Chains A and B, each alone.
Chain A
């Protein structure tokens, strides 16, 4: 028998560096990148004068938050949940209901929305995490469909298909006093949420908890042997993702001024899966880029919903075939090739 490195060949080229080097260093890990990205995002409303186009960027920011929070479950701990829109919609409904009935301030609405999403995440997660991977996905899909049915049919609570309308519109007085119109104000509010959520996720996945997430995704029995409880950590990723989606839902309800059963629609899951798999599950910048690409382009081109689903399906097929590690992996491969060529030229 010959002895050989057991796994070196099986590692994708972009993962042949230590984890810390992959996630914490390199050009994308340097502070200059987030500073530039945030800088561009801040000046964007000064350049983009069209309210429609700015609205598309606002929608993209919504998808950034949804995708990063969804990836905690799908990409970080390898639990393919299909219930994420249920948490987003639950947050939106919770905020809308307490606003409509009790006129609570936005901060309290957000707290209640997060609480409702977390409770739902536990209700779904406790039974679903007892199941194996595929059946887990199916169980979460079942719960998501039930949540949508409740929104459709519990008319006393949700108004059903008539929606909960007339919510106060999302705005910011301090931003208004600077002469920024409502579209701009909403854009900046979602930018702050997106930056805060992205920073939170960035810190979380580099923490001890994030290391445990990676260990579980890579090798569950091995993770157990070093004292990690996979169920508990999977549940934590699921619940944290749900809380972030619920938080977003509360703001989104006021952004649209109306909450409908479509806010829990399964089509959100399709969009999010496209974003995650083409951005690169378990990634960061790739997901953010994909959230913009797959929100802004179809909106800007005014693609009809049925055509959009077909295009998403095609993009997903092409993506998983041609870019199995998503944008992020592809970008790293290109960078590596360029570095090699530069080295070869110098030599």
Chain B
């Protein structure tokens, strides 16, 4: 294991039922923001789900600072410091902001949960003002912030985020990605899947490109942005830093 590695994925094969989507992924996630990009069907979301035990893993290992994550239940994963924000809506729309945050703290003892929710309000003033409002009535960006806040209630070491941009307007996406960056600056390692490659890589320390369930490229965010091979994978041409590849 590399000395600065937070998460080490080795020879990971995973999928759904009998079908493997990932075919031997090796990945080292260091502190900061790591963004996984790739075309549809590359296995980006499956990678996050496999790490969080929501996909069927047939081979390989996933270690978080020496702990084998593949042997843990969701509850134990949260206790080990891993949080997951799934793709699409991932709050309880018929519950209030407060109730959603309490759900985020579900695995914590009651007193600790109260303190954790309170500290979330200190950090996200937007949520504090809307604590009695139904999550389903928040705007798309506010819901995304709520969802990240829910995953931070347990004070994770590693935050897995699956396509935070889904359904968001471009301005809101910028706000959400800035929030992701800010979360990582406060000591949380972020592994994020994102379709908006350019905007995500601009704010990422590291980038990984998946293609057909295999790792095609990896490097620092800025290096990947200027990597002609990445542009080839997407468009067969100009570097991403000059193109709005994947941006909506």
Partners in one complex: yes
Does A228 interact with chain B (Cβ within 8 Å)? yes
- Map CB proximity to A onto B69-88 as digits: 1 under 8 Å, 0 otherwise: 00001110110000111100
Least CB distance, B41 to chain A, in whole angstroms: 20
Q: Among the listed A10, A208, A222, which residue makes an inter-chain contact with B92, where contact means beta carbons less than 8 Å apart? A: A222
Q: How many A-B residue pairs have CB under 8 A?
A: 117
The answer to whether A219 and B92 have CB atoms under 8 Å apart is yes
Give Cα distance in the complex from A216 to B102, angstroms: 15
The answer to whether B169 and A3 have CB atoms under 8 Å apart is yes
Residue of A nearest to B79 (CB): A227
Does A43 interact with chain B (Cβ within 8 Å)? no
The answer to whether B167 and A211 have CB atoms under 8 Å apart is no
Does A154 interact with chain B (Cβ within 8 Å)? no
Does A11 interact with chain B (Cβ within 8 Å)? yes
* B220 / chain A contacts, CB cutoff of 8 Å: none
Does A306 interact with chain B (Cβ within 8 Å)? no
Mark the stretch among B2-10, B93-101, B184-192, B205-213 that contacts chain A: B93-101
Interface size, chain B (Cβ < 8 Å) = 47
* A224 / chain B contacts, CB cutoff of 8 Å: 54, 74
Least CB distance, A200 to chain B, in whole angstroms: 21
Does B60 interact with chain A (Cβ within 8 Å)? no
* A212 / chain B contacts, CB cutoff of 8 Å: 106
Does B137 interact with chain A (Cβ within 8 Å)? yes
Give Cα distance in the complex from A244 to B159, angstroms: 41
The answer to whether B99 and A3 have CB atoms under 8 Å apart is no
Least CB distance, A236 to chain B, in whole angstroms: 15
Does B233 interact with chain A (Cβ within 8 Å)? no
Residue of A nearest to B248 (CB): A1
The answer to whether A227 and B75 have CB atoms under 8 Å apart is yes
* B138 / chain A contacts, CB cutoff of 8 Å: 5
The answer to whether B99 and A222 have CB atoms under 8 Å apart is no
| Interface set, chain A 1-46, CB cutoff 8 A to B | 1-8, 10-11, 15-21
* B75 / chain A contacts, CB cutoff of 8 Å: 227-229
The answer to whether A6 and B136 have CB atoms under 8 Å apart is yes
* A20 / chain B contacts, CB cutoff of 8 Å: 96, 98-99
Does B183 interact with chain A (Cβ within 8 Å)? no
The answer to whether B140 and A222 have CB atoms under 8 Å apart is no
* A17 / chain B contacts, CB cutoff of 8 Å: 134
- Map CB proximity to B onto A208-235 as digits: 1 under 8 Å, 0 otherwise: 1001101100110110111111000000
The answer to whether A218 and B86 have CB atoms under 8 Å apart is no
Given A211-B106, A227-B75, 5 additional A-B pairs, CB 8 A? A3-B172, A6-B89, A6-B93, A18-B133, A225-B54
Task: Sort A-B residue pairs by CB-CB distance and give the 8 closest, nearest first.
Answer: A18-B96, A7-B136, A227-B107, A3-B169, A7-B93, A227-B75, A8-B137, A227-B78
Q: A residues engaging B (CB < 8 A)?
A: 1-8, 10-11, 15-21, 208, 211-212, 214-215, 218-219, 221-222, 224-229
